[in-house]
Amino acid sequence: MHCQYPQTRRCDQTDTYHGTAVADPYRWLEDPNSDETKAWVDSQNEVTFGYLHALPAVEPLKQRLTELWNYERYSVPFKRGGRYFYYKNDGLQNQAVLYTQPSLEAEPVVLLDPNTLSEDGTVALGSIAVSEDGRYLAYSLSSSGSDWLEWKVRDIETGQDTADHLRWSKFSGAAWSHDNQGFFYSRYDEPSADSQFEEVNYFQKLFYHRLGTPQSKDTLIYERPDQKEWGFQGQVTNDGRYLIISVWRGTERKNLIFYKDLQEPNSEVVELLSDFEASYGLIDNDGTTFWFQTDLDASRGRVIALDLNQGNVPQEIIPEAEETLDSVSLLNNQFVANYLKDAYTTIQIFDLTGQPLRTVELPGIGSAGGFDGKKEDTETFYRFSSFTVPSCIYRYNMETGEQSLFREADVAFDPNHYETQQVFYTSKDGTRVPMFITYKKGLVPNGQTPTLLYGYGGFNISLSPNFSVSNLVWLEMGGIYAVANLRGGGEYGETWHQAGTKLNKQNVFDDFISAAEWLIENNYTAPEHLAIMGGSNGGLLVGACMIQRPDLFAAVLPAVGVMDMLRFNQFTIGWAWESDYGSPQNPEEFGALYAYSPLHNLKSTSYPATLITTADHDDRVVPAHSFKFAAALQAVHQGDNPVLIRIETKAGHGAGKPTAKIIEEVADKWAFLAKTLDPDGKSLTV
């Protein structure tokens, strides 16, 4: 099916970086509000949807995705202010609904249904915080997928909102003071009206909002006019005594810890840990003793104690282990430590001195999370899932170690028909890298099976086994789904993360290319049947790999990708990614960025079939990245393979996307892959 692409105007824009002249002929596409850009979006979507809607697999895929998606999904319940809270989606609701109940046996009541806030489900519920007395809910909303948040307050007993309304918050939670009179939150100055989705975000400030007062009267708790990149996350300790301020800088792991004594209203903010030398996450406190999860002198993480009366001298409680410490909570005066062992979860329980008590027996190899509560709680909940097991919720007794199944997802498929294996392959420089491969039981590798390889490789984010209806449909069709745990992620701690950053970023692409080569060499698939997929930083990953090895893949699905590595830091929060990518303003780092930047390394050749996806309200990775990449790719592509861009409207980077939009996009992607990887219909069943 031949595509006639729209003509994209080229301009004469050229920038010079450290003596190197770099053309940017599609700079005008950076303005999403111009009539010319809007016309370009319309013309691209016309071509793309014309192609996709002609694919016979789209409608049956949409039907099957809708059928499988239609199951009740619950979050792990948590307890606040003497009440239980949880999220539930009946199946095809665009957004999950927040419920509350005074006890687990009581009838649950809808507390907040975001589906009622918009006709198309594009208003999503973000963070929530319950006041200590259980009377009020502070909650944030985002519209059309934007990172911008609006905070409101709901009376839990009446279900009615108060008059409180806060705007221009971003990358923030809320933390109630224990007098239940208000909460701490972070915000930016109001941006200009015509650039709120592109303007660079600097100078975050921490405020306290008192109930019943206008936002203009909020109390400024902390700001740093001398540090435009610093952000602040407030957290009130469980005893209500201290406000802990975690100071972050970009997306780097390292942070600072300041505190304020809330018993003394006029107390100053004290700098407890004032060097960006490690990451620190507050677990809990006992008086002036604070427990933190940290990677200070421990790449894979450990638990330390700090006494405010003894300065910032750490005492080790739980030492670094062979596994990577992912998270820690304190329940029943015991530490619940969630570890990653080769990218899957193990749970260990320790006493307050760090002595191991027991291992939580999980249902299998997969991902577990939850264990929320306060240090005196004897009961908690956790969820477990894997590539073939939908999320199940378990009730856990912290005193006895006994557990029971609390809720089980009822998805219309048999997990026994599928299996997952973990393999280890060798990357270009000899590094051993893990990969999960999932497929129908009984598969005999013959080099002909359509295979989808997924990766991320950045920002210390770990890819552990998780259930996905989208991926299940791909498996049902007869495809193989592979996930590579690349350097740049957090699977093996901070050393593994740093090995995929800045001047080491090429390691990530080498790891991914080596994963593809392993799948081919071991007869799972062949280049003509292999697709790669990734989103955000993963969009950069697959974009760079398709350019470095166009011969290795038949199809590429880059979603909301970072494609212009010379201008990523010019928009919204993009400057924060310099901790992983480096800066184009640094001569040495510019050389590395320019060498792999997808936008700048396209050449006149035949590329794999490509379906770029982005959204008009993405203010995390602005759509200009994908717009410019699509225009440049279409200009140089020599083959008959389609190279298309699908631009979603009233959507953002992905969070809060309505179920209906997700189903439509996945159906389009899988139909695109079926057409490309299995044109004769011999291997995939739709």
The rounded distance, in Å, linking the Cα atoms of 637 and 556 is 14
The token duo for 280 is 């620190």
**Which residue is listed with tokens 């210390």?**
460
Q: Who's near 439: CB < 8 A, 6+ residues apart? A: 418, 419, 449, 475, 479, 480, 481
Look at residues 162, 159, 161, 187 and name the one whose alpha carbon lies nearest to residue 174.
187
Does 637 qualify as catalytic in the annotation? no
CA–CA distances in Å: residue 539 to residues 470, 622, 652, 684: 18, 13, 15, 25
Torsion of CA 517, 522, 524, 529, to 10 degrees: 30
Q: Could you tell me which residues come within 8 angstroms of residue 400 by beta carbon, excluding any fewer than 6 positions away?
A: none
At a CB cut-off of 8 Å and minimum separation 6, what does 603 contact? 547, 636
List the beta bridge partners of residue 211.
none
- What is the 8-class DSSP label of residue 377? -
Active site residue 653: yes
Whole-angstrom Cα distance, residue 567 to residue 582? Answer: 12
625 as an active site residue: the answer is no
Q: What element of type H or E holds 514?
A: helix 506-521
3-state SS, 79-135, equals EECCEEEEEEECCCCCCCEEEEECCCCCCCEEEECHHHHCCCCCEEEEEEEECCCCC
The catalytically annotated residue of 618, 619, 668, 678 is 618
Torsion sign, CA atoms 117, 120, 122, 126? positive
Catalytic residue among 536, 579, 597, 626: 536
Which candidate in 147, 427, 653, 678 is catalytic?
653
d(CA 536, CA 539): 5
* Token pair 């989606």: residue: 89
443-467 in b/e form (b: 16+ CB < 10 A) is eeeeeebbbbbbbbbbbbbbbbbeb
Number of other residues whose CB lies within 10 A of the CB of residue 417? 12
Q: Which residues are catalytic?
A: 536, 618, 653
